């Protein structure tokens, strides 16, 4: 099964909330369950945490990728070209990847999972008009004792 974009259902809200996601800017505001890019078979999902991440902005867009009930924090920038009528080409630069130390032996699987999740995410939980997704840059991960 592949990653798919979904609205988070009522029955999935408790699972989502169990990760206690907070705004990367305030560390106080909880992230409300809304949408995610999920692969249920692999028990992995990607969700936005806030930010800008536009091509020329200095502030990234933050994401959490959850896999094996471990949270991976990503800082990203994106851009694209095209239109809904002709199709959109999207690119991503993933500039920071903070991974729990417990996943160090699965580095390649983590990197592949990140790429797969963003290819499905497209340009914002909607890949209807996306013709192509390119990962222009992906940082080496930082393995740390605890991801916050």
The percentage of residues in the chain with a pLDDT greater than 90, rounded to a whole number, is 79
Query: What are the pLDDT digits (tens) for 37-86?
Result: 999 999 999 999 999 988 788 999 999 999 999 999 999 999 999 988 88
Tokens of 12: 């999935």
The ranges assigned to domains in the chain are 4-144
Q: Rounded to an integer, what distance in angstroms lies between the CA atom of residue 44 and that of residue 69?
A: 8
**pTM for the full model?**
0.93
Q: Is the pLDDT of residue 148 over 70?
A: no
pLDDT at residue 125, as a whole number: 67
Q: Give the tens place of pLDDT for each residue, 23-39.
A: 998 888 899 999 999 99
């Amino acid at each position: 099964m592949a990653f798919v974009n979904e609205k988070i259902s009522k029955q999935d809200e408790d699972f989502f909330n169990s990760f206690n996601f907070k705004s990367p800017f305030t560390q106080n505001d909880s992230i409300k369950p809304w949408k995610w890019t999920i692969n249920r078979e692999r028990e992995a999902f990607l969700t936005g945490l806030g930010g800008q991440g536009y091509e020329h902005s200095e502030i990234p867009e933050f994401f959490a990728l959850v896999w094996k009930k471990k949270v991976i924090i990503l800082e990203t920038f994106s851009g694209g070209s095209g239109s809904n009528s002709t199709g959109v080409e999207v690119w991503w630069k993933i500039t920071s990847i903070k991974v729990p130390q417990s996943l160090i032996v699965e580095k390649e699987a983590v990197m592949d999972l990140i790429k797969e999740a963003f290819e499905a995410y497209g340009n914002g939980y909607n890949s209807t008009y996306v013709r192509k997704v390119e990962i222009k840059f992906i940082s080496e991960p930082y393995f740390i004792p605890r991801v916050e």
